[in-house]
Amino acid sequence: MTDRRVTGLLQPRWLPGHWSRLCPGLIALLVLPLTSCSGTHSALDPAGPEAANVAQLFFVMLAGGVVIWVGLVAALIYAARKKREHSEESAGGVILWGGAVIPTIILCALLSYGMWLMPAIRPWVPDDQQVRRIEVTGEQFWWRVRYLDEAGETMFETANEVRIPVGEPAHFSLKAADVIHSFWVPSLGGKMDMIPGRTNPLTLTADREGTYRGVCAEFCGESHALMAFTVRAVAPDEHEAWLAERRVSGSQDAEGLAIFLNNGCGACHAISGTTANGRIGPDLTAFGERTTLAAATLRHTAEDIARFVAYPGVIKPGVKMPHFGMLPEDDIKTIAAFLKELK
């Protein structure tokens, strides 16, 4: 398409001058919301029953809103016409019906529908009937993930990436270590606040395989927007095999581990099977199987791991991890390579 044709499309001549200049902005405004209607991070593309109910509630509310809006526009047009005709007719009936009776009926109907749907959006399951139990703690600015056994004891700990089996409800116990965070996986269900001193339950089910993106939905500090995570839904037997493997993971690479330990990384991070047993930062056991870094902020590559180890506070302002940029470059590279392959 030639430049002139593109300009013609974006700035049509048949519109008056200032409207024509506004046109590209208006097109962008109309198209932009549509780009977020599908994918791994959309409440309008549900991947489970809880999310499907949320999406349904949205569309019913939208329909109610459209009915009210159309009624309002009709009332406006009616009023404008009456004014032009200098009508002496009383508007009492229109105000009573249009301003009070009809909106009350519509809003009551929407409220009742929302209340009726509520138990399905937040299914309550007694503790002793919960099989898949995962505890997630919001921290500034990452997610501590613990897989619990039937007795509620921690089997192992990981961070920022959650795995659940397809077709089985996963029961999350949501906590916060410092300030209020909010756990939200739009494709799988509604959001739930994580409040210090409380444990909030949330049940999510994925009915198709995939990796879904979650975010923190409550402002929690400088890097609130850099606090994402993933939920990967896999076949139940694949999930069982992974749980069994993760219970016994440990590290092997002696040289990388030695540099990791000598620089004090083990004071904040744990790696199962080694002397690194710090609890302040994310548990790095089996870090090599993760797909993202720094709570889904960076790619899981040796270069990005090295960047983060050297200057974490530049990438994520406000993180507790100190800079390690003063270490010899080779040490940082060895630590990054060691973590990248850590099984």
Q: Rule CB under 6 A: is residue 216 a binding residue for ligand CUA? A: yes
Where does this chain touch ligand CUA (CB under 6 A) — which range of 5-13, 60-68, 212-220, 233-241? 212-220
Whether 233 contacts 210, CB under 8 Å: yes
Least CB distance to ligand CUA at residue 284 (A) = 20
| Cβ count near 341 (within 10 Å) | 14
Whether 133 contacts 175, CB under 8 Å: no
Where does this chain touch ligand CUA (CB under 6 A) — which range of 5-13, 125-133, 219-227, 247-255? 219-227
Where does this chain touch ligand CUA (CB under 6 A) — which range of 81-89, 109-117, 216-224, 261-269? 216-224
Residues in the chain: 343
Comparing CB distances to ligand CUA, the nearer of 178 and 209 is 178
Residue type, 62: L
Q: How far is CA 85 from CA 78, 80, 81, 92, 124, in A?
A: 11, 9, 6, 18, 59
Comparing CB distances to ligand CUA, the nearer of 136 and 306 is 136
Comparing CB distances to ligand CUA, the nearer of 110 and 176 is 176
Where does this chain touch ligand CUA (CB under 6 A) — which range of 51-59, 127-135, 218-226, 303-311? 218-226
Comparing CB distances to ligand CUA, the nearer of 216 and 257 is 216
Q: Rule CB under 6 A: is residue 294 a binding residue for ligand CUA? A: no
**3-state secondary structure string, the chain?**
CCHHHHHHHHCCCCCCHHHHHHHHHHHHHHHHHHHHCCCCCCCCCCCCHHHHHHHHHHHHHHHHHHHHHHHHHHHHHHHHHHHHCCCCCCCHHHHHHHHHHHHHHHHHHHHHHHHHHHHHHCCCCCHHHCCEEEEEEEECCEEEEEEECCCCCEEEEEECEEEEECCCCEEEEEEECCCCEEEECCCCCCCEEECCCCCEEEEECCCCCEEEEEEECCCCCCCHHHCEEEEEEECHHHHHHHHHHHHCCCCCCHHHHHHHHHCCHHHCCECCCCCCECCCCCCCCCHHHCCEECCCCEECCHHHHHHHHHCHHHHCCCCCCCCCCCCCHHHHHHHHHHHHCCC
Comparing CB distances to ligand CUA, the nearer of 146 and 181 is 181
Least CB distance to ligand CUA at residue 231 (A) = 16
Comparing CB distances to ligand CUA, the nearer of 139 and 283 is 139
Where does this chain touch ligand CUA (CB under 6 A) — which range of 53-61, 195-203, 215-223, 255-263? 215-223
Q: Rule CB under 6 A: is residue 227 a binding residue for ligand CUA? A: yes
Q: How many residues bind ligand CUA (CB under 6 A)?
A: 9
Q: Rule CB under 6 A: is residue 163 a binding residue for ligand CUA? A: no
Where does this chain touch ligand CUA (CB under 6 A) — which range of 87-95, 220-228, 283-291, 335-343? 220-228
Which residue from 166, 188, 204, 220 is in contact with ligand CUA, where contact means CB under 6 A? 220
Window 112 to 151, contacts with ligand CUA (CB under 6 A): 138, 141
Q: Rule CB under 6 A: is residue 282 a binding residue for ligand CUA? A: no
Q: Rule CB under 6 A: is residue 175 a binding residue for ligand CUA? A: no
Least CB distance to ligand CUA at residue 241 (A) = 32
Chain residues in the site for ligand CUA (CB under 6 A): 138, 141, 181, 216, 218-220, 224, 227
